[in-house]
Amino acid sequence: MPSGAGTEEPNSSRRLTDSYFKLINDEWQPEIIGDKFLPFEVYKAGKKVNWSLTETHMYEYFKGTIFVNHSDDQRSKFLRYYKSCSYNAEKWIKTKLSEENQEYFEQFALPLPTYDSRDFGFTKAAREQARNTRKSETDAIVDFLPQIRAEGHFRWNQICRLRKRYLKACEEVKNNDLELPFNFEYNEPERIGERFFFRLWDRPSFLSHHEDQFSQRAIKIANSRTLTYSQLTDL
């Protein structure tokens, strides 16, 4: 919470404070949010005003009479996540608790509503909106599709040629028992006019040429080619 809210100052290990406000003798006082009784206090407050989230407030929310600025997609996701949370909470209570504890914790479970998404129009509207959004986004690049396709083919063929040259360099090193690092170059066709230079390493050779960046133990293991360096690794 911001400092103007009157809560504790955040320490260096967290960005916000750990406080929430509690009404004590008609005065708002900050309390630590780690209070283990907070969920029960919220539950008792709801029972005191006789709330019924699923059959009244939530129904009004899905009908769009409250929080009218929320989109159809938000309402659709809320119902989907709520039903999933309710199902998993109920499953946990039934499978993880004794019968005695089940009876007690049932009062805290999220009840499933007697209605579903088919009773409202927001689900269909959300799908329609998502479809229209995707269409409008793809329509923007339709005129560029031939160019994108040609560029994609060009880059794919270039990568294939480069990989072929890389595999050939690996074979040269293995067949001729060459010392690493091994330098090789790759020339693109004349119409492209590009030349690339590469250096081929394996793990021990790379480590031995960069000893200042590794521990003495790692250098010793690499030089003796033991443990993780016991076999010639892939180039």
DSSP letter assigned to residue 66? S
On whether residue 126 sits in a domain, the answer given is: yes
End-to-end alpha carbon distance in the chain: 53
Structural domain total, the chain: 3
On whether residue 81 sits in a domain, the answer given is: yes
Full residue range of the structural domain in which residue 3 is found: 1-51
Is residue 34 within 8 A of residue 87, CB to CB? The reply is: no
C-alpha count within 13 angstroms, C-beta hemisphere, residue 212: 0
Q: Say whether both 158 and 215 belong to one domain.
A: yes
Q: What are phi and psi of 23, to 5 degrees?
A: -85, 115
Q: What is the pTM of this model?
A: 0.40
Q: Say whether both 183 and 209 belong to one domain.
A: yes
Q: Say whether both 134 and 151 belong to one domain.
A: no
On whether residue 184 sits in a domain, the answer given is: yes
What does the pLDDT profile of the chain (235 residues) look like in tens digits? 444 444 445 555 555 455 555 556 666 665 555 566 666 676 676 666 555 566 777 888 887 888 888 887 888 888 888 888 888 888 888 888 888 888 888 877 777 777 776 777 777 777 777 788 778 878 878 888 899 999 999 999 999 999 999 999 999 988 998 888 899 998 888 888 888 999 988 878 888 788 788 888 877 777 777 766 665 544 5
Q: Say whether both 167 and 225 belong to one domain.
A: yes
Q: Say whether both 167 and 117 belong to one domain.
A: no
Q: Say whether both 119 and 151 belong to one domain.
A: no
140, 175, 191 - which closes a domain: 140
On whether residue 104 sits in a domain, the answer given is: yes
Instruction: Measure the CA–CA gap between 138 and 135, rounded to whole angstroms.
Output: 5
